[in-house]
Amino acid sequence: MEANVKAMLQEVTDRTDIPENAAYNIRSDGSSAGRRNTKNIQIITKTDKPGIDIRVASAAQKEEVFIPALVTHSGFYDLVYNDFYIEPGADVTIIAGCSVCSNGCDASEHHGIHRFFLGENSKVLYLEKHVGSGEGTGERIINPETEVYCEPGSYMEIETTQIRGVDSTNRVSKAVLKDKASIVIREKILTHGKQFAKTAFSVDLDGAGSSARLISRSVATDESVQVFDSKMNGNNACAGHSECDAILMDNGKVSALPEVHANHLDAQLIHEASIGRIAGEQLMKLMSLGLTEKEAEEWIIQGFLK
């Protein structure tokens, strides 16, 4: 594997190597750069459109599958459809994410449409990191779409991270939950320059005893703009919590548009939104320990996004 591709892969997965017992499919510039199936995890190329089907058997317990996507040069447009079929009782961690590099004047784009079908009492941890790199002036664009369908008793946890580098992103997540199913979505975003980031969450709590928690932590610096849009529909006896916390710096702008719709007498839904600058007393406390103002800001941001 070329050195730059391996470096991008490491940055997206936070791993130096893929474990020998893990399944993986590495997508580089629209083509497969490597694949491994295991006894309990099968990866199959779609025949009707670009992408793969990932099938996880019930016997999979605490297993991992890696599916990173890489765009290594400017002027490349990548579109992929990935479907995940998780059998009842399975427990799997999916390490995904995308790295887009532009060293020229043309935009580099990755559009990933992911659908998850969770069987009863299955458990999925989905880790997704987005990275933009390169010295060119072309935009680095990443637009992920995620749909989750949870059968009774299943659990889905999504953790997404995007720290600088990506010029434009439109992140769409939708989920439909049946009885006693749960989903937790956490995102961390830091934008700078003239970057734009929009997050759109939509969750339908259809099942009795279902629950959802949506958590967004973001920092908008320079002239960047962020939009947080969440909709939570309580259609049964359920519990939901939507939370957006954002820090503004320089001329950054953040809009939070949380909505909760209680369509059942026993739907318990909460939404919170907090947007503001770093508190002066926080800076003063750290600066009294010998840090410069910039160093103090970095410490506060790192802690906030941790």
Q: Is 246 within the bounds of a domain?
A: yes
Q: Is 245 within the bounds of a domain?
A: yes
Q: Is 284 within the bounds of a domain?
A: no
Q: Is 304 within the bounds of a domain?
A: no
Number of domains observed in the structure of the chain: 1
Q: Is 302 within the bounds of a domain?
A: no
Is residue 214 a contact partner of residue 245, using CB atoms and an 8 Å limit?
Answer: no
Q: What is the DSSP letter of 68?
A: -
Q: Is 296 within the bounds of a domain?
A: no
- Please write the tens of the pLDDT for every residue from 104-133: 999 999 999 999 999 999 999 999 999 999
Q: Which domain, by its residues, includes 193?
A: 3-278
- pLDDT at 290 (0 to 100): 82
- pLDDT at 100 (0 to 100): 94
Q: Is 289 within the bounds of a domain?
A: no
Q: Three-class SS of residue 58?
A: coil
Q: How far apart are CA 58 and CA 61, in angstroms?
A: 8
Q: How far apart are CA 32 and CA 103, in angstroms?
A: 22
**Angle CA 212–184–191, to nearest 5:** 120
- pLDDT at 1 (0 to 100): 52
Q: Is 60 exposed, middle or buried (0-12, 13-18, 19+ CB in 10 A)?
A: buried
Q: How far apart are CA 47 and CA 212, in angstroms?
A: 34
- pLDDT at 2 (0 to 100): 66
Question: pLDDT tens digits for the chain (306 residues)?
Answer: 566 677 888 888 888 788 889 999 999 999 888 999 999 999 999 999 999 999 999 999 999 999 999 999 899 999 999 999 999 999 999 999 999 998 899 999 999 999 999 999 999 999 999 999 988 899 999 999 999 999 999 999 999 999 889 999 999 999 999 999 999 999 999 999 999 999 999 999 999 999 999 999 999 999 999 999 999 999 999 999 999 999 999 999 999 998 999 999 999 999 998 999 887 787 887 787 788 888 888 888 888 888
Q: How far apart are CA 117 and CA 96, in angstroms?
A: 16
Q: Is 278 exposed, middle or buried (0-12, 13-18, 19+ CB in 10 A)?
A: middle
Q: Is 49 within the bounds of a domain?
A: yes
